[in-house]
Amino acid sequence: MLEDKNQSRTSLSELGEFKLIDHLTKQTVIHHHQTIKGIGDDCAVIGRGEVQTLVTTDLLVEGVHFDLSYMPLKHLGYKAVVVNLSDVYAMNGDAKQITVSIAVSNRFPLEALEELYAGIHLACKAYQVDLVGGDTTSSTKGLLISITALGEVKKEKCVYRNGAKSKDLLVVTGDLGAAYLGLQVLEREKQVFQVNPNAEHELENYTYLVERQLKPEARKDIIQLLADLEVQPTSMIDISDGLSSEILHLCKQSNTGCQLFEDKIPLDQQVISTCEEFNIDSTTIALSGGEDYELLFTVKQEDFPKIKANPNFSIIGYMTDEANVAELVTRGGQKVAIVAQGWNAMK
Ligand code: ADP
Ligand code: MG
């Protein structure tokens, strides 16, 4: 038996998700020269040929990442695939295969898992990826889903988090904050329902928000668009934890700073009206909300004419040479340090 000589106990919540990963993986040794990029980006990058393989994995836990009282299983299956594919697109790559592993308690009948897989198959069709394997086991409580996605990228097209340079433009696709608000709306409905099971659902005013939460899409279309426009981003990441957190990842890994302009952050009208209704600040939601699965990337200034008029893109700031000085320039012209308040799995 292993003897525990180390009596000290460090709480994981003190550390947070990113420090924990750093701590656990700092002694990682790379044995193969084919391992081009290991831990630290949206995908690992493997292979010395012209075409490289991309690998990414995610684990979703019932009660932590999803709540089946408002997440239909078919949607859950779809979303579980999409969030993985998003990491492949964040490398400027194309997703090709997935594996799916589930741990499931006897609370779930066959029909429930059929629903889950209906969603998985739907995503495979929509994104043209092949389900090629997985694992199935039992759990004492609840449902766990782990998906691994494999993709491909031409070596010279691969985009990492660490390539941003001073003066590069910071660009985001789509709009931000809706998925988080969708979750708030669904949580509120759940509470109403618990008090009064006969209450009418009132979701008409929040259709976009709820859709962004329950049926997110990964931006495969943007990878094609960037290729068509002949724009090669200098760095890229997908927005899973919130704009702040992802900007700080780009800055840290690229050794740059950033100026982000509050008035440039793209918000849907439903996000603006719901924030007013809930009396919360829409900028805070966009910065910290998470689960948007949009792409955040930097481009050289010379690419500005190629992206400026495209409705898919918002230029929200620029990178600076002041390493790790990431600031939000507010509508009033004040500068505020950007801090990561994104979703933290350990809290
Ligand atoms: P993303 O948000 O893009 O999915 P994460 O923040 O989950 O990325 O992970 C950051 C990096 O740390 C990735 O390269 C991921 O593969 C790696 N990673 C996360 N957890 C572990 C772990 N337990 N052991 C080894 N590497 C990990
Ligand atoms: Mg990612």
Q: What is the pLDDT of residues 280-330, one digit of tens each?
A: 999 999 999 999 999 999 999 999 999 998 999 999 999 999 998 999 999
Q: Is 25 in the pocket of ligand 1 (CB under 6 A)?
A: yes
- Reply yes or no on whether the pLDDT at 343 is more than 50: no
* Model confidence at 226: pLDDT above 60: yes
For the Cβ of 21 lying below 6 angstroms from any atom of ligand 1, the answer is: yes
| 3-class state of residue 133 by DSSP | strand
CA distance 181 to 239: 15
| Distance separating alpha carbons of residues 343 and 180, to the nearest angstrom | 10
What predicted TM-score, i.e. pTM, was given to this entire model?
A: 0.95
Mean pLDDT computed over 128-143: 97
Q: Is the CB of 152 under 6 A from ligand 1?
A: no
240 is in an annotated binding site: yes
Out of 3.40.50.300, 3.40.30.10, 3.90.650.10, 3.80.10.10, which CATH number does the structure's domain 169-337 have?
3.90.650.10
> Tell me, what's the pLDDT at 324?
81
E-strand spans in the chain?
35-37, 44-46, 51-61, 94-104, 130-138, 143-154, 169-173, 235-238, 257-261, 295-299, 313-320, 326-329, 335-337
Question: What does the domain layout of the chain look like in residue ranges?
Answer: 29-157, 169-337
Q: Hey, whose CA ends up nearest to atom 20 of ligand 1?
A: 21
Q: Is 134 marked as binding a ligand?
A: yes
Per-residue pLDDT, 139: 97
| 41-64 residues labelled b (16+ CB within 10 A) or e (exposed) | bbbbbbeeeeebbbebbbebebee
Please report which ligand is nearest the Cα atom of 40: 1
**3-state percent helix, strand, coil for the chain, nearest multiple of 5:** 35, 25, 40
- Looking from the CA of residue 241, the nearest atom of ligand 1 is 2
Residue with tokens 């008029």: 309
Is 345's pLDDT higher than 60?
no
- The fold of 29-157 is 60s Ribosomal Protein L30; Chain: A; (3.30.1330)
pLDDT digits (tens, 9 = 90+) for 56-67: 999 999 999 999
| Residue nearest atom 7 of ligand 1, based on CA coordinates | 58
Q: Is 161 annotated as a binding residue?
A: yes
Ligand 1 contact via 294 beta carbon (within 6 Å)? no
CB atoms under 10 Å from CB of 97, counted, come to 15
Ligand 1 test: best mutation among 39, 84, 147, 244, most atoms within 8 Å of CB?
Answer: 39
90 CA closest ligand 1 atom index: 3
Q: pLDDT above 70 covers what percent of the chain?
A: 96
